[in-house]
């Protein structure tokens, strides 16, 4: 292929990708593999339906349902409590009620600042060599409340995860954007804090 044709093909590809600009991506609700809890609470827990209150979150209703199931499985597998169930139900008097609220739930994809100039200068070699094309930016913030079965809040924790990562043509995330790792990190952080907090609360 001539240099002229290569340049034209490169320009077309760069124009196509750069035309995407900054795009809000489907955030999903999956969680990664559950690592064993560093502190376990020898009581049962009930998980209330997860709430995603971020008004800009895409597919919040479906994500709430899926994330509730994902967190239930994560809590069970990690062993934070002796057992975990989903509300509605009938908790016993010695069990806890967990409530997760996500007030920021965002995965955004933007053009990497070096992509356009380097792709054009190198006639596309930058792209095929694995240079970053996009930058995926993740923002999650959430709170976890722990209440007794009478509804009295015992503890509340809040945390956030803000992360970004480069995406090349060969990155697994190029075609399948995901924020599972960041979401898992946030959920685990809140559960760890709650487990230690409940252990300390029980000794008071």
Residue 69 placed within a domain: yes
Asked whether residue 17 is assigned to any structural domain, the reply reads: no
Beta strands in 87-182 (DSSP E): 96-111, 134-148, 153-167
Q: Please tell me the distance from the alpha carbon of residue 142 to that of residue 161, in angstroms, as a whole number.
A: 9
In a domain, 148, yes or no: yes
Q: Residue 204's pLDDT band (boundaries 50, 70, 90)?
A: low
Encoding tokens for residue 43? 């009581």
Provide the CATH number for the domain around residue 93.
3.40.50
Token pair of 131, please? 């240079």
Confidence at residue 6, expressed as pLDDT on a 0 to 100 scale: 41
Q: What does the radius of gyration of the chain's CA atoms come to, in whole angstroms?
A: 22
Each residue's pLDDT tens digit, 85-113? 999 999 998 999 999 999 999 988 888 88
Q: Is the per-residue pLDDT at 179 higher than 70?
A: yes
In a domain, 15, yes or no: no
CB 186 within 8 A of CB 142: yes
Q: Looking at residue 178, what is its pLDDT?
A: 81
Of 155, 149, 153, 137, nearest to 198 by C-alpha is 155
Number of domains in the chain: 1
Write phi, then psi, for 158 (nearest 5 degrees): -135, 145
19-47 pLDDT, tens digit per residue, is 455 566 667 899 999 999 999 999 999 99
Residue 22: the pLDDT is: 59
Q: Are 163 and 183 in contact (CB under 8 A)?
A: no
Domain, as residue range, for 197 = 24-111+134-202
Q: What is the pLDDT of residues 180-196, one digit of tens each?
A: 899 999 999 999 999 99
| Overall residue count recorded for the chain in this entry | 204
Q: How many whole angstroms separate alpha carbon 144 and alpha carbon 187?
A: 9
> Which pair of tokens denotes residue 23?
């795009």
Domain assignment of residue 74, yes or no: yes
Whole-number Å distance between alpha carbons of 92 and 4: 74
Phi/psi at 144 (nearest 5 deg)? -125, 120
Q: Is residue 12 part of a domain?
A: no
Q: What is the DSSP letter of 88?
A: S
Does residue 13 sit within a domain? Answer: no
Alpha-carbon distance 48 to 86, whole Å?
Answer: 6
pLDDT at site 4: 44
Structural domain includes residue 14:
no
């Amino acid at each position: 292929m001539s240099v002229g044709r290569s340049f034209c093909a490169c320009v077309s590809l760069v124009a196509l990708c750069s035309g995407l600009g900054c795009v809000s991506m489907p955030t999903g609700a999956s969680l990664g593999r559950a690592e064993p809890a560093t502190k376990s609470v020898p009581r049962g827990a009930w998980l209330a339906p997860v709430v995603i209150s971020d008004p800009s979150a895409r597919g919040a209703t479906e994500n709430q349902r899926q994330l509730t199931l994902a967190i239930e499985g994560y809590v069970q597998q990690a062993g934070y409590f002796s057992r975990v169930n989903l509300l509605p139900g009938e908790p016993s008097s010695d069990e806890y009620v967990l409530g997760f609220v996500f007030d920021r739930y965002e995965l955004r994809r933007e053009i990497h600042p070096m992509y356009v100039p380097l792709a054009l200068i190198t006639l596309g070699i930058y792209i095929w060599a694995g240079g970053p094309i996009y930058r995926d930016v993740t923002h999650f913030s959430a709170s976890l409340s722990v209440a007794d079965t009478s509804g009295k809040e015992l503890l509340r924790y809040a945390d956030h995860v803000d992360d970004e990562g480069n995406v090349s043509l060969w990155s697994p995330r190029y075609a399948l954007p995901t924020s599972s790792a960041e979401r898992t990190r946030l959920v685990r952080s809140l559960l760890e804090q709650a487990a230690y907090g409940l252990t300390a609360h029980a000794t008071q």
